[in-house]
Copies of this chain bind each other. A is one copy, B any other.
Amino acid sequence: MRQPRDFGFDEQCVQLKQAARHFFQKKLPTQALHTLVADDPDPFRAPVARWDRALWQEIVQLGWHAVAIPEPAGGAGMPLVAGAALMEEAGRVALPSPLLTTLQSSCVLKACNSPAAHALLEAVVRGSTVTLAVLDKNGTHQSRNVTASKTDNGYVLDGFAYFVQDAAKSDVLIVRAGGLYAVPVTTPGVKIVPDHIVDLTRDQAHIEFDKVDAALLAEEGDAILRLSEPARLTLLAADMVGAAEWQLQTTVDYAKSRVQFDHPIGFFQAVKHPLVDLMVLIDQARALVYAAACAIDHQTDHADSVQAEKYARMAKASASDMASFASKKSTQLHGGIGFTWECFVHLYAKRQKHSQVMMGDATYQRRLLADIVMGIPGGK
C-alpha cells in the first residue's frame, strides 16, 4: 500500500506528540526523576520498583496508555505512529512506568484477534497494565519454559518466565506456553521474583508459575509474537530515540557552560564533533522509527509486512547503535562529574543499555535484516 509521505502524522497525532512533550517535561523534570529512582545508590538495595503511580494515573486519564487500541475496544484508535511519538516523549524523560509494556502488549493482543484478547484490551482501556512473560532463562523464545495443560475450567500453567519487564507495575501477564495466556498477577501460584537490575528506571522479574489458572488468548503463541514483533520493536526504539535526544541536549548544554582552557568545552572539536555525529545518529534512528510505524500502519499485503519488518529491524538496530554512542559520549564528555551518582547522565545510560539488549541487539537485528534483504545463505 502506498504510504503517506508524512508518515501519517496528522493533526491529532502531532497534537498528541506536543502535549506529551509538554506534560512529561513538566511532570518529571530530571531532578525529580533522580529523586524518584536514585535515592539509594547501594547496588544491594532492595529491588523495589520506583515509579510515580499518581503520574501514571494521570496518563491513564489522558487515555495515552490506550492510544493504539482500536476504538471498538474503547481505545483512541490512533495509528502506531502516534504510539511511537508518545513513547519517544516518554523516553525523553526516561519515564518509569508500564507504558512501553502496555503499548507493546496491546499490539500482541490486537494480533490475537480472539474474544479473550478483546476483553483484555478493554480492561487495558479501563486502566489495567499488562506485560509479556515470554522469555526463557537465556532471554530467548527457544525453550518451552512454561507449559499449559487443559483442565475442565480452562488452562493451568507451570514453569518459569524470565526477563519480564516492569512486572511490578503490571496487573496482568501475557504468558507464552505454546499458546498465549492471560494471567492476572494476583492469581494464586504466581510468584514474582524481582531481579536486581542496572537500569534504575525500570523493574524486571522472573516469575514462577505453579498450577496457575490462565485464560487462552491465542493458540499460536510464537506466530502472534512474530506478527507483533515489528510494532514492539518500533515502540522500544522510539523510547530510545527520545532518551538519546535528552542525552544529546544535556551534553550540548554542558559543553556550552563548562569552561576549561578559557573556552566552553564545546569549542573543542573533540567535544563538538562527536555531538554532531550523535545528532545524525538520532535523526536517522528517529526517521526509521517513523518509517517503521508508518509501514506497519499501512500494511495490507505480505510485501507490505515484509517491508514493515525491515524498517522495524532497521529502527531497532539503528537505535541500539545510537544509544551505545549516546551513552558513551554523554558520560565521557561530562568529564569528572559524568561518572558520579549525583550526575543525571547515568540514569539514561543505564536505561539505554537495558533497551539495547531488549528484543535483540543491533547485531541480531542486522542478521535478520540481511536474511530478508539478501536471503538466507544455503537458501532455506
Contacts and interface: CB of A to CB of B under 8 A. Distances in A.
Interface of A: 268-270, 273
A273 B272 CA distance: 13
Classify the interface of chain A: helix, strand, loop or mixed. Answer: helix
Contacts of A269: 268-270, 273
A268 B268 CA distance: 8
A269 B274 CA distance: 12
CB-CB nearest 4 A-B residue pairs: A269-B269, A269-B270, A268-B269, A270-B273
A160 to B, nearest CB: 28
Q: Quick one: copies of this chain in the complex?
A: 2
Contacts of A273: 269-270
A273 B273 CA distance: 12
5 contacts: A268-B269, A269-B269, A269-B270, A269-B273, A270-B273
A247 to B, nearest CB: 21
Contacts of A270: 269, 273
A234 to B, nearest CB: 31
Nearest to A271: B269
A268 B273 CA distance: 11
Contacts of A268: 269
A339 B280 CA distance: 26
A240 to B, nearest CB: 28
Nearest to A273: B270
A333 to B, nearest CB: 13
Nearest to A270: B269
A269 B273 CA distance: 10
A143 to B, nearest CB: 20
A315 to B, nearest CB: 26
A136 B268 CA distance: 51
A79 B29 CA distance: 67
A156 B270 CA distance: 63
A269 B267 CA distance: 10
A273 B268 CA distance: 11
A156 to B, nearest CB: 39
A282 B268 CA distance: 26
- In this complex, the member of A268, A269, A273 whose beta carbon has the largest number of chain B beta carbons within 10 angstroms is A269
A270 B268 CA distance: 9
A270 B271 CA distance: 10
A220 to B, nearest CB: 31
A270 B270 CA distance: 7
A318 to B, nearest CB: 22
Nearest to A268: B269
A96 B269 CA distance: 39
A44 to B, nearest CB: 34
A302 B114 CA distance: 65
A268 B267 CA distance: 11
A281 B268 CA distance: 24
A277 to B, nearest CB: 11
